[in-house]
Amino acid sequence: MPTKKIKVFTISLGCPKNRVDTERMLGALGDNMVPTDTPESANLVLINTCGFIQPAVEESVQSILEAADAIADISPKPILAVAGCLVSRYGKLDEEMPEVDLWLSTFDLDTWPKLAAEALKTKLPEQHQRALSTSPSFAYLKVSEGCSHSCNFCTIPSIRGPQVSFDPAGLVTEAKQILAQGVPEIIIVGQDSTAYGADLNNPDINLRNLIEQLLPLEGLEWLRLMYLYPAGLTDSMLDFLAKAGKPLLPYFDVPIQHAHPEILTAMGRPFARDPRKVIDRIRKHIPDAILRTSIIVGYPGETDEHFKTLLDFVKETKFHHLGVFAYQAEEGTPAGDMDQLPEELREERRRILMEVQADISREFLVEMVGEKIQVLVEAPSDEWPGLFTGRVWFQAPEVDGITYISAPEDGIKLAPGMMVEAEIDNVTDYDLVTLVMP
């Protein structure tokens, strides 16, 4: 089969781990892959779906239908490939969506490029690397697939399977390829990053050793860890993280989900204990640590007392970043069969927590006005010429606040991927406004 240029239009929905799957798929097509902005101009339309919760399922289905409609009258018609968690959760939906040419399950990630190439009647190159789709300022490094926990509300293990850790040598090579493209920040992601290597029966393969191999890499300015389960943040691990130094950021994304032991037990969390212990442990080793977490409110059986415990915990802990989600019952999970709280109550509790968090966040940011800080430039802002968006070290992309950056007209010319020194001039509830130093 001859090699030819392949114009690809992609939509990657859901989490960063999904985005990495998309980038690996596109990279496998090699230099013949040419990104395009519209499905109508593509040879391949790839939609990598999310199926984690019902709203994500609905968004995925809507994206598929819109893409199918956009290319319906084109001849020759582009290949419409639907990949990811929706396919793994529900299987091939040929009867419901006959417009789809190719269904790609997460259980067969390694075969995605081959199946796409066969549909396109082209060959795959022997050498390739990921086709990054994030801004020039960062890239994700996915260290494992799946999850071996059994939380009662979660569909991930059934969609993605048990945890499978990737070979560390391959991850280091991938990181080098990312940095060679001038990307200054690498963000480690996995469903439970602290459990990396636990499935391999090799004591030399773990998150600590992987970090030690990544830290010396040339070009790495920031190394950020996400999805750190409390059970993996032992005194020994925290002592290592505290002493590792730059470019490792003292940023801790620890998914707590709740604060009351009865709700944590009902959730089937792998640490049905007081989450204050892990927070205290982190702050003992790293007093200036930045803390982010995610919380579910309105879980089946959550009483006013349970919620008050959670609310008090958030007020006392003062997380720098907090994601709050109203519980969503999911088919096929134990919690989905429980008696559900009214939707209005769930949303009200989410609103209350977010109002509390807005005050906590603003209080933290206000104290920084006047400080000088390094800002990683991400993209031009649409608000006015010369204004850019970016992030400071304690802001993770796509989940935390952002930093607005402006520079004097006769000063430095900002560009995505640059690291500049700026002074914090103003704040909102979650964002910073900065001026580049002359």
Judge contact between 211 and 187, C-beta under 8 A. Answer: no
Query: What is the phi/psi pair of residue 435, to 5°?
Result: -120, 130
DSSP string covering 300-340 = TT--HHHHHHHHHHHHHH--SEEEEEE----TTSGGGGSPP
140: amino acid identity, one letter? Y
Cis status of the peptide bond prior to 216, with omega within 30 of 0:
no
Strands (E), 201-250: 222-225
Tokens 């792998």 belong to which residue?
270
* Domains of the chain listed by start with CATH number: 6-120 (3.40.50.12160), 138-366 (3.80.30.20), 372-436 (2.40.50.140)
Task: Provide the pLDDT for residue 30.
Answer: 84
Query: Tokens standing for 61?
Result: 């289905």
Instruction: With residue 8 as reference, give the H or E element that holds it.
Output: strand 6-12
Beta carbons of 432 and 404 less than 8 angstroms apart: yes
pLDDT at residue 376, as a whole number = 96
At 332 the pLDDT is: 86
Peptide bond into 76 cis (omega under 30): yes
Phi, psi of 364 (to 5 degrees): -65, -45
Structure tokens at 281: 């442990």
Termini Cα distance of the chain:
57
Question: Residue 3: its pLDDT value, please?
Answer: 57
pLDDT mean values, one per 10 residues, the chain (438 residues): 77 94 91 90 94 91 94 91 94 92 92 91 83 94 93 89 95 97 96 95 95 97 96 95 96 95 91 84 97 97 97 97 94 91 97 97 96 95 89 96 87 88 95 88
Calpha distance 141→195 (Å, rounded): 15
Identify residue 151 by its one-letter amino acid code. Answer: C
